[in-house]
Amino acid sequence: FKSYEDLLNSLPPKRRDIFLLRVQEDLSTKVIAMQMGIARKTVQNQLGKAIETLKVSLIRLFTIGIPLAILLS
């Protein structure tokens, strides 16, 4: 991944939208559910999956990217 935006774009669109509404717009899961016309539990599940995916991607980036950068310097 080259940027935060690339990382977000790797998420499925609905999951990305939920994540952005929660993190950037600071909306509650209840408000997101109402806006999107889906169950609050769906919002919570999708948010959890988005966070897990981003966490794994960042861990991979740092555990693979940093040692490689050190070796190349």
* Residue 31 per-residue DSSP state: H
Chain segment 32-60, per-residue pLDDT in tens: 999 999 999 999 999 999 999 998 888 77
- pLDDT average, residue stretch 25-29: 97
46, burial (CB in 10 Å: exposed 0-12, middle 13-18, buried 19+)? buried
Give yes or no for a contact between 1 and 61, defined as CB atoms under 8 angstroms apart.
yes
Question: How many Cβ atoms from other residues are within 10 Å of residue 57's Cβ?
Answer: 15
pLDDT band at 4 (very low <50, low <70, confident <90, very high): confident
- pLDDT average, residue stretch 15-20: 97
